[in-house]
Chain A
Amino acid sequence: MGSLSSLSGADKRDIVALEGVTKRFPGVVANDSVDLAIRPGEVHVLLGENGAGKSTLIGMLSGLQQPDEGRILVDGEPTAITSPRHALALGIGTVFQHMMLVPTLTVAENLLLGGPWWQRPKTEELEARVAGITRTLGITVKLHAKVSELSLGEQQQVEILRAMVRNSRLLILDESTSMLTPKGIDELGALMRRLVEQGLAIVFITHKLKEAAAFGDRISVLKLGRKVGEIPPERFRALGEQAIISEIVELMFGKQKDDPEAAQRPVRTIHAEAAPLLRVHDLAVAPTDDAPGLSSISFDIRPGELLGIAGIDGNGQKQLAEALAGQRATAGGSVRLEGASIEALSVGERRQKGLRYLTDDRLGEGTVGTFPVSINFFLKQVGAAPFWRKGVEQRAEIDQRAAQLVREYDVRTPSLKTPVARLSGGNIQKVLLARELAEGAKVVIFNKPTYGLDLANTLASRQRIRDTAARGLAVLLISTDLEELLSMCDRIAVIANGSLVGTVENVDDARTKVGRLMIGLAA
C-alpha cells in the first residue's frame, strides 16, 4: 500500500468513486454533494459524529438506498447499485454496524446463505475456501458453532470472512469497533492491515479519532452530511499521530467561517454567590443490557446558568437525563432541588417541584402522536384542574389555554385538533417547549433539543433555551453538537462512558479543551 500516491479527482485506480452524491430524507439532507475516492490497498476512514451521514453513505454503497443526486462510479463506470445482491456482485462487501448474521444458524450455514435455493449447500467446498482464507489472514473461525454462541468479535470476523468468501474487492466496515473490547479493536486493526496488503480496499467508518489515526491510510471527515475535509495518504504519513488528531479535531469541531448557526453568546453575569438551584452529587445508575451506567456524576447549576453536557452520543446522556427526571432508578447519590432532596420523589412529584425534562424522543415518549395538539400541551396534567374536573375533560378551558400557547410559542399547526404527529419536528418541539416551560418551572433539562430540526427551528429553539436561562431558571443542556453548546452554555461538562471527565468554563479556548476531553485526552 505504501507505493500509492494520490491524484486529485476521479482516478483509474478507484474501485469505487462517489461524485457529488446527495441523499435527502424528509426534512433532512443526509448527504450533501459528497465526493469520495476508494482505492485498493488503502484503508479509507470515514470519520464523523452521529448524524454526520456516514450510515447513509454506506447504505448507498451497499445497495440499500439510492442517491437522489450525483453518481457512483464502479471501476470508472457510472453504476446504479440497485440491491444488496447487486452490490455483492460488484464486489462490494459490507460489515454492518448491527450484526447481519442469523443467530440460530451455524457459522457455516450463515456463510452459505445466499446460494441458489434449489442447490444443496456446498459445505465441503466452503470449508476448503474458508481454510485458505483464514490461513492467509491468520484468524481461526469455528465453522460449526452456532452464531449466538460466538463473541461479538468472533461474529465480526465471520462477517469479514463472509465478504472474503464472496470475492469482495471492497470491504466496508460500519462502526465495527463500537462493540469490541480494546483487544478486539487491535486485532481488527491488524486484520485490516493484512487485508489491504492483499490488495483489498477498505472503507472504515468510525467516530473514534484514535482508531482513525491508528488504522487509516486516508481520512475523510463528514459533518452534518457534508464532507468537510480529507487527509490523503502522503500527508497522513508525514504527520505524527498527535498532529493528525489535532488536524481532525480542527475539521470536525472547527468553526466554519460561513456557518449560519454561529451566534455570538451574550455575556451574562451569573451570581456566583447564589445558591445552586440544582445540586447533583455522586449520582450513579447501574448499567443495563443495552445502556451504559452512570457513576459519580456531580455538578451544580445556579439560577440563570446554562450548563452544557458534551460528549459522543451514547455515553450516558439519556441515562443522566432520565435519572434526573425520575424515569430511571438510581444506584446512589443525591439530587437536590433548591436544597431539598428529591431523589425519592416520583416523576410527577419532581415536575410539581419545578423540574422539567424535554426528551429527545419527541414522538415516542414526548407526545401522543394521535392526540390533538391541544391535549398534548396538557399530557402531564391529565386529570388535574382546571383542564379536568371530576374526571371530565374541560374542552373550552383546554382549547383556550392551548390557543394561547400556540400563539406564544409560534406553533405552526392547521388547527388545535390536528394530531400532533402530523406536525413537523420543529413544531412538535415547540409543543414540548410550551408544555415543559409552563408555570412553575425552575430547572429544565433539555436532551438534544435541536436534533433533527431544520435551521430556522434550531435557531428558534436555541433562543427559547437562552430566554429560559435569562428568566433565572437553571438549565441543563445535553447535546452532541459542540457548536451548539459553545454558542450557548456558561460551562460545559464532558461525559464519557457514564461519568463526567471534566468541566470547562466556556471562555476563549473552550473548544479545544472540550474537544480534547471528548476524544479521551486530558483538557
Chain B
Amino acid sequence: MTGLFSEVFLSALLFGAVTAAIPLLLAGLGEQMSEKAGVLNIGIEGMMLAGAYLGFVGAFYSGSLWLGFLTGAGGGMAVALVMALLCVRIGLNQIVIGIALTLGLEGLTALLHHFQFSRSYPRLPAVDVTVIPLLSDIPVIGPALFKQHLIVYLAVALVFGMGYIYRRTQLGLNLQAAGDKPAALDVAGIDVLRTRTVAVLTTGALAGLGGAYLANIGAGLFIPFITNGAGFLGIVLAMLARGRPVWVLFGALLFGVCLSLTTAMQVAGINIPTDIIQMLPFLAVMIMLVLFGRRAGLPAALGIPYERGAR
C-alpha cells in the first residue's frame, strides 16, 4: 500500500489526470459553444476522431506537433462543416446527423489507418515539455501541472478566453441569443444561421484539436476509436457546466482524475477487476448527472433548427 501514496505515484497520477483532462476540456468547451448557440452537437465524437487521425498524420509526416494540431483542428472543422450544412442550414435532425457523423468517422478513420499504418504502427517521439520555473519545483503538483506541453497551458488559457467572449463581447451576446431566443436575434438583424454556423465550426476546431492532443501527446500514436467516448464526456461536461467555461475545466479535471486512477490502480496492482476500474469515469458521469443534471439549465432552443417565421 505504500506505493499508492508515494510522492512519485501521486505525481504520476496527477500528471495522467491532466493529460486525460485536456481532450475532455477542449471537447467540452467546443460543445459548450454549440449548445450555447442552440445546436446539440452529438457529432463531436466524430470530429475528435477526424482531428485525432489527421492530427497524427500531420504530425507524423511533417515531424511538427504544431502542424499536427493545425491539421487536427482542420479535420474537426471539416466534419463540423458537414454538420453545419445539414443541421443548421437545411435544418435536419441534429441527433440523427450527429450519430451518423460519429459512426461514419469511426469507420472512416479506422479504414484509413488500416491502409496507411497497419504494417508499421508508427509512434511519434516523446514530446517536449515547457517547464515553468519555480512552480515546477513544488512537490507532487509541480512536476504534474507545470511540466506539460505548451498546448496544455494554452488550453487552460482558452477557458478564460471563452469566459471573456461569453460575458464581455457582442459575439457572446449573439451566441446566447441564438440558443435562448433565436427569433429575437433574427429581428435584431443578426443572421441566426450564420451565428450558429460559426459556433459549430468553432466546436469542430476545438474537438479536432482535442483529438489531435489525444493521439499526438496522450498516446503518441493513432489507433481506431482512440477517443473512446471522450466526445460524449465532453457533451456531459457542457451540459453540467451551465454555460460557464470554468466549470468545464473543473469537470474535465475530475473526469481526468478518474481516468488516470484507472491506469494508476492497474499499475499499482490493486486487486480489483480492471473492468470495474474502467467503469469509474462513467460511474462518475452518472453520479454527477444525478447530483447536478437536474439543474442543468439548457438553452431554450437547444436542438431546434431555426426557421424564420415558424412558430
Which residues of A does B touch, CB under 8 Å? 59, 62, 64-65, 83-85, 88-89, 94, 96, 98, 100-105, 109-110, 112-121
Q: Would A104 and B180 count as touching, CB distance under 8 A?
A: yes
Take A101-B184, A105-B176, A109-B173 as given contacts and tell me if A88 and B168 are in contact as well, using a CB distance cutoff of 8 Å: no
B180/A103 in contact, CB under 8 A: yes
Bound-complex Cα distance A109 to B175 (A)? 12
**A110 CB contact (under 8 Å) in B169, B183, B184, B190:** B184
Beyond contacts A101-B181, A113-B190: 9 other A-B pairs, Cβ-Cβ < 8 A, are: A59-B309, A96-B187, A104-B176, A105-B173, A113-B173, A113-B174, A114-B185, A114-B188, A117-B174
Chain B residues with Cβ under 8 A from A100's Cβ? 181, 183-184, 187
Selected from A65, A104, A114, the residue in CB contact (under 8 A) with B189 is A114
A residues in contact with B183, CB < 8 Å: 98, 100
| Contacting residues, chain B, for A96 (C-beta < 8 A) | 187
6 smallest beta-carbon distances between A and B, as pairs? A85-B189, A114-B188, A113-B188, A100-B184, A117-B171, A84-B187
Smallest CB–CB gap between A84 and chain B, Å? 4
Residues 155-190 of B, flagged 1 when their CB comes within 8 A of A and 0 if not, give 000000000000011110110110011011111111
Taken together as a complex, chains A and B put the C-alpha atoms of A102 and B181 apart, in Å, by: 5
Taking the closest CB of chain B, its distance from the CB of A108, in whole angstroms, is 10
Contact of B171 with A118 in the complex, beta carbons under 8 Å: yes
Fill in one digit per residue for B289-305: 1 if any A CB lies within 8 Å of its CB, else 0.
Answer: 00000000000100000
* Pair A64/B173 contact, Cβ less than 8 Å: no
19 contacts between A and B (CB under 8 A): A59-B309, A84-B186, A84-B187, A100-B183, A101-B181, A103-B181, A104-B180, A105-B173, A110-B184, A112-B173, A113-B177, A114-B189, A114-B190, A118-B170, A118-B171, A120-B168, A120-B170, A121-B169, A121-B170
Residues from chain A with a CB closer than 8 A to the CB of B186 are 84
In the bound assembly, the distance between CA atoms of A121 and B169 in angstroms comes to 6
Which residues does chain A contribute within 8 Å of B174, judged by CB atoms?
113, 117
Chain B residues within 8 Å of A104, by CB: 176, 180
- B180, B187, B190: the one contacting A62 at CB < 8 Å is B187
- CB–CB B185/A113 < 8 A: yes
Q: Which residues of A contact B190 (CB under 8 A)?
A: 85, 113-114, 117
Q: Which residues 125-145 of B have a CB within 8 angstroms of A?
A: none
Q: B299 — nearest CB in chain A belongs to which residue?
A: A104
Could you tell me the distance in whole angstroms from the C-beta of A165 to the nearest C-beta in chain B?
11
Q: Whole-angstrom distance between the alpha carbons of A392 and B173 in the complex? A: 57
Q: Which residues of B have CB within 8 Å of A94?
A: 187
Q: Which residues does chain A contribute within 8 Å of B189, judged by CB atoms?
A: 83-85, 88-89, 114
A84–B186 CA distance with the chains assembled, in angstroms: 7
CB contacts (< 8 Å) of B173 on chain A: these are 105, 109, 112-113, 121
Task: Report Cα–Cα, A100/B308, bound state, in Å.
Answer: 13
**A85 to B190 alpha-carbon distance, docked (Å):** 7
For residue A62, which residues in chain B have a CB less than 8 angstroms away from its CB? 187
Bound-complex Cα distance A487 to B308 (A): 39
A-B contact count (CB 8 A): 71
List the B side residues contacting A110 at CB < 8 Å.
184
Most buried by B among A88, A96, A100: A100
Output the least CB separation between B227 and chain A (Å). 31
User: In the bound complex, do residue A102 and residue B308 qualify as a contact, i.e. CB atoms below 8 Å apart?
Assistant: no
CA gap between A31 and B188 in the complex, in Å: 26
- Which residue of chain B has its CB nearest to the CB of A59? B309
Q: Give Cα A104 to B172, complex, Å.
A: 13
Q: How far is B174's CA from A112's CA once the two chains are assembled, in angstroms? A: 10
Q: Which residues of A contact B300 (CB under 8 A)?
A: 103
Please, which residue of chain B has its CB at the minimum distance from the CB of A84?
Answer: B187
Question: Are A113 and B171 in contact, CB atoms less than 8 angstroms apart?
Answer: no
**Beta-carbon contact of A112 and B170 below 8 Å:** yes
A85 nearest CB neighbor, chain B only: B189
Q: Which residues of the other chain, B, contact A119 by a CB distance below 8 angstroms?
A: 170
Residues of chain B with a CB closer than 8 A to A116's CB: 170
A115 to B172, CA, bound (A): 11
Expressed in whole angstroms, the Cα–Cα distance for A482 and B187 within the complex equals 35
B306 to chain A, nearest CB (A): 13
- For A62, A94, A98, the residue with the greatest tally of chain B CB atoms inside 10 Å of its CB is A98
Chain A residues positioned under 8 Å from B309 (CB to CB): 59, 64-65
* Contacting residues, chain B, for A117 (C-beta < 8 A): 169-171, 174, 190
Q: Which of chain A's residues have a CB closer than 8 A to the CB of B181?
A: 100-103
On chain A, the residues within 8 Å of B184 by CB distance are 100-102, 110, 113
- Choose among A65, A83, A84, A120 the residue that contacts B169 (Cβ–Cβ < 8 A): A120
Say whether A115 contacts B170, CB under 8 Å: yes
CB distance from A73 to the nearest CB of B (A): 22
Q: Give A458 to B309 CA distance when docked, in angstroms.
A: 27
CB distance from A456 to the nearest CB of B (A): 28
The interface residues of chain B lying within 8 Å CB-to-CB of A64 are 308-309
A113 to B174, CA, bound (A): 7
Q: What's the minimum C-beta distance from B170 to chain A, rounded to whole angstroms? A: 5
Beta-carbon nearest neighbor of A122 in chain B: B170
- Chain B, Cβ-Cβ closest to A62: B187
Taking a contact as CB atoms under 8 Å apart, the answer to whether A102 and B180 are in contact is yes
Among residues of A, the one whose C-beta sits closest to the C-beta of B174 is A117
A59 proximity list for chain B (CB < 8 A): 309
Most buried by A among B171, B173, B183, B186: B173
Most chain B CB neighbours (cut-off 10 Å) among A88, A98, A101, A114? A114
Task: From B180, B188, B308, name the one whose CB has the most chain A CB atoms within 10 angstroms.
Answer: B188
Chain A residue at minimum C-beta to C-beta distance from B194: A117
Q: Could you say which of A59, A103, A105, A113 has the most chain B C-beta atoms within 10 Å of its C-beta?
A: A113
B171: chain A residues within 8 A (beta carbon) = 117-118
**Which residue of chain B lies nearest to A110 when distances are taken between CB atoms in the complex?**
B184
Alpha-carbon distance A119/B186, docked complex (angstroms): 18
Instruction: Report the bound CA distance from A119 to B185 in whole Å.
Output: 16
Closest chain B CB from A101 CB (angstroms): 6
**A162 CB, min distance to chain B CBs, angstroms:** 8
Residue of A nearest to B185 (CB): A113
Q: CA of A144 to CA of B284 in the docked complex: distance in angstroms?
A: 38
A336 to B170, CA, bound (A): 62
Nearest-neighbor residue (CB-CB) of A120 within chain B? B169
Q: Can you name the residue of chain B whose Cβ is closest to the Cβ of A119? A: B170
Q: How far is the CA of A65 from the CA of B311 in the complex (A)?
A: 14
Q: Which residue of B lies closest to A115 (CB)?
A: B170
- Complex formed: what's the CA distance from A117 to B189 in Å? 12
CB distance from A87 to the nearest CB of B (A): 8
User: Cβ of B169: which chain A residues have Cβ within 8 Å of it?
Assistant: 117, 120-121
Closest residue of chain A to B297 (Cβ to Cβ) is A104
A445 to B169, CA, bound (A): 56
Alpha-carbon distance A105/B179, docked complex (angstroms): 12
Q: A102 — which chain B residues lie within 8 A by C-beta?
A: 176-177, 180-181, 184-185
